[in-house]
Chain A
Amino acid sequence: MTTDDTAQGGDEAEAAVAEPVDALEDTIWPSVNRALSAVDVRPERGALDLIVHVPRANVVRALRMLKQDDELQFNYLRSLTAVDNEADGVDVVYHLYSIPKNLNVTVKAMLPPDDKVLGTATTVWQAANWLERETAEMFGVRFTGHPDPRTLLMPEDMTDTFPLLKSHPFAEIELLQGELLGHDRNEGDRE
């Protein structure tokens, strides 16, 4: 068992090393790389769209470059959200679309768990306004320079609880009932 696992892990690691520049020739990576040449970015093949990892200090700059590039014209912000990776921090994820060119790209910025601060994208698209408010209240990400940093879906005074973080308990009552019954609801999933 263990030998199999390590062998597989090894293969995957090798594949990951071999992948970079070659394998992405069929995607829009060459154009994105050219548009973002001033920024240190790392590409990744997604199931559907190209994913670009951008250091958080350069995110807003990179987004603006993608929007203003003549060849790409990412003028539409489809979605903006975050993913809590626990110890690995919080990823803020932007899904961009170019209406004139019919292209998609996903931009990701990693924030360390103890310093979740990022520049606001509202200066690039107005669409980011409510989406950032939602991301802020759900994940505790602070978007500096946001024009209207209130809560969106949560109560106005609920500024210290971030429901979509993995550390936030799910359905506390059920957990409590489970404890009283001596039943661990996560037991079944681990097998």
Chain B
Amino acid sequence: MVTEAAPEFETQDLLINVGPQHPSTHGVFRMVLEVDGEVVKGLVPYIGYLHRGAEKLCENNDFRQGVGYMDRTEHLAAHNAELSYVMAVEALAELEVPARAQWIRMILCELNRLSSHFMFFGAFGIDVGVFGTPFIYAWRERETLIDLFEEISGDRMMYAYFRAGGLAWEVPANFKERVREVLKSSRQGVKDFDGLLTENEIFIARTKNVGSISAADAIEIGMSGSSLRASGVDMDIRKTEPYLFYDQVEFDVPLGKNGDVFDRYYVRLQEMEQSMRIIEQCLERLEDGPIMPEKMPRMLRLPEGQEVYIRTEAPRGEYGVYLVSKGGNKPWRLKVRSACLSNLQALKQMSIGQYVADAIIILGSIDIVLSEVDR
């Protein structure tokens, strides 16, 4: 007959510290897990190790210099980060951006989404435990994209290529051919991934119904981007509040159903196909023309007492820039709304009741960039 364990045999919860320097934490992130056997009962995240005060820096430098700091907040999708910032300055300075510059921005932002998602697949593959093939495949594809960015801007990650008003300089003469070339290789890369992971039994066993979050909870916590859409919420700023020329191209917004790790992976995979669709349409519409407004002031000064909150759909979710101007050539207040910070808030809720090993892939599936979380 089984009797209850005597009090002296009762189990005790164990605290495990993960990070701040740990391969599974995607950067400098620390979490303390409270576990009962292998099941997570509590989770306390610690962030801030990469805080560099980007907002304060922007407030003490003029509007041109801010672009560089935006790159460093989101180094895996720097074009998207720059875009929110220059759009905020343009909105207050009432600058008219030429069509060619807008199309090129759109192409670069979507290419950046591809490179960022490739990065996700590589890192996520490692989290799930399939080191090697997916990681190297992802890096190979990302490398072709980064080569293209380097040809255009001169830098692999910190592009500083967008300017308030347009672009820093004209793209190389063979831009269209190069983008088509890269697209061809990326398309094959996405196909490879689909074949490697999507129907892989081990992968499905590890990711299906793990770390689920309902649509209502995801909204309540303020999640955005692919992680929110994986829960079935149809919120894509490119559709709901179109900027650039997103209202002139056709694309679909892939949605998930269960909001689990698998859905967050699969939504991103489908998004890449849509990005390529957008880029192809942009290439067709791209025509010669100026890339900066004709009457561009030499020194940018914004009107006094104005403010704007610009949001764009970056690869990790809503990247917002809140700019307050009180005249002069510097922002009075510049706030960066980090998509990853809000997404990371959901980690606790997703991980409780899951296995320790799953907490790692749940973290990976949110696709965080710690430099954007901490800014």
Contact = CB atoms under 8 A, between A and B. Distances in A.
A127 B222 contact: yes
Given A78-B320, A78-B337, A152 B220 contact: no
A127 B375 CA distance: 18
A99 B333 contact: no
A75 B219 contact: yes
B51 A49 contact: no
B374 interface: yes
B89 to A, nearest CB: 11
A171 B320 contact: no
A171 B60 contact: yes
B34 to A, nearest CB: 16
A163 interface: yes
B239 to A, nearest CB: 10
A125 B220 contact: yes
Contact of B318 (A47, A78, A171): A78
Contacts of A130: 341-342, 345
The listed residue with most B CB atoms (<10 A of its CB), out of A75, A81, A93, is: A81
A84 B345 contact: no
Interface in A48-84: 48-49, 51, 75-79, 81, 83-84
B232 to A, nearest CB: 12
Contacts of A155: 48
Contact of A106 (B48, B56, B309): B309
Contact of A95 (B59, B241, B320, B329): B320
B23 to A, nearest CB: 23
Interface in B82-112: 91-92
A189 B329 contact: yes
Contacts of B308: 46-48
B335 interface: yes
B307 interface: yes
Nearest to B375: A153
A154 B51 contact: yes
A6 interface: no
Interface string A98-125: 0100101010000000000000000001
Nearest to B220: A126
Interface string B329-371: 1101101010001100100000000000000000000000000
Interface string B242-274: 000000000000000000000000000000000
Contact of A129 (B51, B328, B345): B345
Contacts of A168: 56
Given A49-B309, A126-B221, A189 B53 contact: no
Given A81-B335, A126-B220, A163-B53, A95 B322 contact: yes
A78 B311 contact: yes
Contacts of B92: 47
Given A78-B311, A106-B309, A189 B330 contact: yes
Contacts of A153: 47-48, 51, 374-375
Contact of B233 (A99, A152, A171, A189): A99
A112 B55 CA distance: 23
Contact of A99 (B51, B53, B235, B329): B235
B307 A46 contact: yes
The 3 A-B residue pairs with the shortest CB-CB distance in the complex, in nearest-first order: A127-B222, A153-B48, A47-B308
Given A102-B241, A126-B345, A127-B342, 17 more contacts: A47-B92, A48-B308, A48-B309, A75-B219, A76-B219, A79-B309, A83-B332, A95-B309, A99-B219, A102-B240, A126-B220, A151-B48, A153-B47, A153-B374, A154-B48, A163-B56, A164-B55
Interface of B: 47-48, 51, 53, 55-56, 59-60, 91-92, 219-222, 233, 235, 240-241, 306-311, 318, 320, 322, 324, 328-330, 332-333, 335, 337, 341-342, 345, 374-375
Interface of A: 46-49, 51, 75-79, 81, 83-84, 93, 95, 99, 102, 104, 106, 125-127, 129-131, 151-155, 163-164, 168, 170-171, 189
23 contacts: A47-B92, A47-B308, A48-B310, A75-B219, A75-B220, A78-B320, A79-B309, A79-B337, A81-B335, A83-B332, A93-B322, A104-B309, A125-B220, A127-B345, A129-B345, A151-B48, A152-B48, A153-B374, A154-B48, A154-B51, A155-B48, A163-B53, A170-B56
